Structures are given as structure tokens and as C-alpha cells.
């Protein structure tokens, strides 16, 4: 076997390589399992006599993944044309075991490779392959895109679709091996991507160490490309303009990012992608602002009167014979219970949204709850300063539970007996005193929940089912049913 010598000074180059692999959506239908063995048959040949023991299996499996992109992902001025678009991602075991000092070690922990195939419409016979080594990491960091992709392939994830984001996990490179195999150009980046233990085991034990895409041994005229940072003034300012064969590209290096995580950002000037992205970002901002405005308006006109009806009026009616201070204590307990329900729901939403294999719609749901809680609480506290808001008319009598201006008279819980009586009136009393009506409301809500539940079950992913179905039932039992009962009684 011949080797790639990274210290070879005879074939060196400092031509600039620009690559960017931003988020690309991948679902189960984009992933296909392949084998180097076309017949995928037994490893034992027919003319070999039977022997004792078992044959050592050969790993022939690799995975081919559709990796759809519309703009160039790889630019290299040393070949023509210079810009190429990625279209396929491959998962292999370690292919290039012949990089001196990197993969030639006896007990190397580099156990696999990601190969990305690129094409250019102007020269379809010529392909570019970028190869990124895979190495197991020792720490227990959050799963990156490769870890999540391996989970989806091996069936250990509930997700049927994910976004593969390689730009943030490809480390800063110092050297790259470039060689040519017939029409194909192969680029091997020597600093490996780190993956967790499970992903490393998958690469090591399941994937083939050979490929038919290109030859893995070096020709005589391979070159070592040094990827040092440019010292030009334009690069220090954050932008380097490179004029290639087809278009002009801007390489953007945002400040505040680590050299270990950001490699390059190449965006064509006045491209359709750049213009449409700006439009999409603008529409997203307007939609978010519109949603916030709608929530604020609905909250302003509905929350205070609804709160007065199901909290103030109900408690004033139930405790009309008691002192105003006692009624204020029950209202205060109701406030704490409402806030607790909101906080539990918000924390649950953010916890679920930020977890591994997260459903980010939960984060949006949690933000919406935060907006409703903050605006609703503020409006209710402002309305409580007016006696008309805290007064309930029962016939000719007025039950007034207004707060005094003295801070010392601000209500408290008043003891555990008040808390027990509050929950008894909220949950137990309706069941035993007006059980038919309470049960009717509960059944109606359960039937209503079956419609979105059936839709999510039929068309939603397993993550969506787990995310929303397990929240609909408790919300119906402990929040929606008592709330509708109180508002209708």
C-alpha cells in the first residue's frame, strides 16, 4: 500500500478551498443502504471445501443519502470549473488508512469517513468528492448532526426527518490531500469530525472500509494543500471575495464564532438564493410580529373579563357571607394556581423543545404561553385597582372584594385550610354536586381532542405524537374542563 505523506514538500499547494455545508433536510426516504458486494451473497466461495468454525464476515455495507442543495457548496480555483454543488452524502468505515501519521497508527481511533459527492452541470463527467474523517470523542456533549443521523439510520430515533448541519461540526482544517482518479477529484481533510460512542461503534462495526466511488491509494502527483488563514486586509475585515470561473462569491467569517466550529460561508452575490433568503427572513419577522400582535390583542380583550367571570365573580358568589379579606385570600390562591399551571406548561414546553430529538414547535408554544402570562397578569393586576372589577352584583346586593391601598392589607393564602377548600370547590364539588354537567363537558372535550389526536396519529411523526398527545389529555382534565364548567355555571 502506498501512503499519503502530509510532510511531502515536493507536492504542496496553497490554493484556497471554500466549502460550506449548511442545513439540508434529510428524511427516511433519502437514505438507502448499499453494498459493495453486488450479489450480497455468502462470503464463502463454492470451490472452497467446508472447514470448521465460522467465516469472518466482511463489512460491505455503506449508506447513500440524498443531500439536496441548490447553491455551490465547494469552490476550488485549482480545477475548472471551480464551483460544485453537493448532491449525495455517503457513510463509510475508514477508507483512507494510508495517511501517514493520521490513520496509519496501529490503534487509531479514527474509525470512519463521510464522503460528499459534488457535481457541476457544465461538466457532468467530472465529480468532486470531499472526505471527512470520523473520530470518537470522549466527552458527553449534546448529539451533533452525525450522531442524530446515525440514530435515525439505526432506528434508535423517533424522528423521520432531520436537518443535517455539517458546517458547525467540521473543525478548522490545516491540511488537505488532493488527488485525481480519472475524471474525479478527491479531497481528504485530515482533522476528523468528532462523534459520540454509539455513532463511532456504528462506523467501526457496520460500515465498509472499501468503496467503488474512487481509488483510495495515492497517485504519483497527489498534492498537499495548506489551508492557512489569509492575511489579506479584506479577510481581516471578515470578507474575502474570490472570483471563480462561473460567479463571484463572498466568503463570510462571522465574528463571535470559534475557529473550531466555523469553516467558511460562501454566498453568491445577487444570487436567487440570497434574494429569496432575505425575503423569507423578512416574512418570518413580519409573521412573528403579527402573531405577537394578535396574541396581545386577544389577550387584552378576553383575559380580564374572562378572569373576572370565572374567578372574581365565582368566588364572590361562593363566599358572599364572608369578610372581604377572606374572599381576597381565595382570589389570591386562584392567582397562584393559574400562574403555577402556566409555569409548569412553559417549563415543560421549553424542556421538551430543547431536549435531544426535539420538536421545536414546543419552544414556539412555550413562548406563546409566556406572552399570554405576562400580558394577562399585568392587565389583571391593573384592573384589580378598580373596585368595579372586584365587585359582583347578586340581585340587589353588591359583593365588593376590592383591595385597600395599604400594602399591609395585601392578601395572603390564609392557611392550608383555605387551599384545601379552594381545590375542593374547583375539582371535587362540581363532580359530586353537578356531576352530569361536569361529565358532559369532560366528554365533549375528550371527543374534541380525538380529532386532532387522530390527525396527529395518522400524519404526524412519532415525535409529534409523543409531544402533543401526552399533553392534550391532562390539559383537558385539569384545565379546560374545570375552566369551561366555571364559565358556564
d(CA 202, CA 200): 5
- What pLDDT score does 364 carry? 79
Does the pLDDT at position 441 exceed 90? no
* Selected residue with higher pLDDT from 94 and 443: 94
pLDDT in tens, 459-481: 555 555 566 666 767 777 777 77
Mean pLDDT along residues 50-60: 59
pLDDT in tens, 379-432: 998 988 888 999 998 888 889 888 876 766 678 888 888 888 888 888 887 777
Summary mean pLDDT of the chain: 79
Q: What percent of the chain has pLDDT over 90?
A: 22
What is the DSSP pairing of strand 184-195 with strand 127-136? parallel
pTM of the predicted structure, to 2 decimals: 0.48
Cell of 300: 387584552
* Selected residue with higher pLDDT from 378 and 406: 378
- What pLDDT score does 57 carry? 53
Cell of 122: 457544465
Q: Name the phi and psi angles at 90, rounded to 5.
A: -115, 145
Domains of the chain, each with CATH number or no CATH: 12-270 (3.10.200), 278-433 (no CATH)
Cell of 305: 373579563
Q: Which of 128, 129, 130, 97 is nearest to 112 (CA)?
A: 97
- What pLDDT score does 250 carry? 47
473: part of which helix (H) or strand (E)? helix 470-475
Does the pLDDT at position 351 exceed 80? yes
Mean pLDDT along residues 294-313: 88
The per-residue DSSP string of 381-425 comes to HHHTTSTTTTEEEETTEEEE-PPPS-GGG------HHHHHHHHII
- What pLDDT score does 254 carry? 46
Is residue 154 within 8 A of residue 205, CB to CB? The reply is: no
Q: Which of 469, 251, 477, 262 is nearest to 352 (CA)?
A: 469
d(CA 95, CA 305): 69
Cell of 141: 456533549
Mean pLDDT along residues 154-168: 86
- What pLDDT score does 343 carry? 92
Does the pLDDT at position 42 exceed 60? no
Amino acid at each position: 500500500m502506498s501512503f499519503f505523506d502530509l510532510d511531502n514538500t515536493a507536492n504542496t499547494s496553497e490554493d484556497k478551498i471554500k466549502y460550506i455545508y449548511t442545513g439540508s433536510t434529510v428524511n427516511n426516504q433519502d437514505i438507502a443502504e448499499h453494498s459493495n458486494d453486488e450479489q450480497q451473497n455468502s462470503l464463502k466461495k463454492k470451490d472452497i471445501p467446508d472447514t470448521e468454525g465460522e467465516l469472518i464476515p466482511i463489512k460491505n455495507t455503506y449508506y447513500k443519502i440524498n443531500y439536496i442543495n441548490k447553491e455551490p457548496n465547494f469552490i476550488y480555483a485549482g480545477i475548472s470549473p471551480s464551483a460544485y454543488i453537493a448532491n449525495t452524502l455517503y457513510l463509510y468505515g475508514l477508507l483512507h488508512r494510508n495517511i501517514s501519521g493520521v490513520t496509519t497508527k496501529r490503534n487509531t481511533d479514527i474509525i470512519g469517513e463521510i464522503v460528499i459527492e459534488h457535481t457541476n452541470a457544465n461538466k457532468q463527467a467530472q465529480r468532486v468528492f470531499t472526505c471527512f474523517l470520523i473520530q470518537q470523542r470522549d466527552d458527553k456533549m449534546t448529539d451533533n448532526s452525525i450522531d442524530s443521523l446515525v440514530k435515525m439510520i439505526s432506528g434508535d430515533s423517533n424522528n423521520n426527518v432531520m436537518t443535517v448541519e455539517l458546517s458547525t461540526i467540521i473543525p478548522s482544517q490545516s491540511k488537505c490531500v488532493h488527488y485525481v482518479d480519472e475524471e474525479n477529484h478527491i479531497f481528504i481533510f485530515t482533522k476528523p469530525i468528532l462523534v459520540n460512542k454509539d455513532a463511532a461503534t456504528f462506523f467501526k462495526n457496520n460500515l465498509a472500509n472499501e468503496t467503488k466511488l474512487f481509488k483510495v491509494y495515492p497517485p504519483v502527483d497527489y498534492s498537499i494543500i495548506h489551508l492557512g488563514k489569509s492575511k489579506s486586509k479584506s479577510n481581516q475585515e471578515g470578507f474575502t471575495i474570490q472570483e471563480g470561473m462561473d460567479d463571484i462569491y463572498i466568503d463570510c467569517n462571522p465574528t463571535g464564532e470559534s475557529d473550531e466550529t466555523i469553516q467558511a460561508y460562501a454566498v453568491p452575490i445577487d444570487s436567487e438564493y440570497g434574494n429569496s433568503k432575505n425575503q423569507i427572513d423578512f416574512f418570518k419577522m413580519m409573521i412573528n410580529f403579527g402573531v405577537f400582535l394578535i396574541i396581545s390583542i386577544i389577550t387584552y380583550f378576553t383575559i380580564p373579563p374572562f378572569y373576572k367571570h370565572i374567578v372574581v365573580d365565582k368566588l364572590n358568589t361562593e363566599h358572599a357571607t364572608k369578610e372581604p379579606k377572606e374572599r381576597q385570600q381565595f382570589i389570591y390562591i386562584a392567582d397562584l394556581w393559574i400562574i403555577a399551571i402556566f409555569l409548569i406548561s412553559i417549563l415543560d414546553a421549553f424542556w421538551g423543545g430543547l431536549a435531544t430529538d426535539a420538536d421545536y414547535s414546543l419552544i414556539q408554544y412555550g413562548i406563546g404561553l409566556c406572552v399570554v402570562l405576562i400580558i394577562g397578569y399585568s392587565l389583571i393586576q391593573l384592573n384589580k385597582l378598580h373596585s368595579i372589577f372586584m365587585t359582583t352584583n347578586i340581585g340587589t346586593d353588591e359583593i365588593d372584594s376590592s383591595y385597600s391601598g395599604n400594602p399591609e392589607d395585601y392578601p395572603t393564602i390564609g392557611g392550608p385550610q383555605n387551599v384545601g377548600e379552594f381545590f375542593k370547590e374547583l375539582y371535587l364539588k362540581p363532580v359530586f354536586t353537578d356531576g352530569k354537567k361536569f361529565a358532559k363537558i369532560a366528554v365533549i372535550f375528550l371527543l374534541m381532542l380525538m380529532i386532532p389526536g387522530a390527525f396527529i396519529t395518522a400524519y404526524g411523526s412519532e415525535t409529534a405524537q409523543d409531544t402533543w398527545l401526552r399533553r392534550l389529555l391532562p390539559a383537558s382534565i385539569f384545565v379546560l374542563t374545570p375552566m369551561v364548567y366555571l364559565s358556564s355555571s
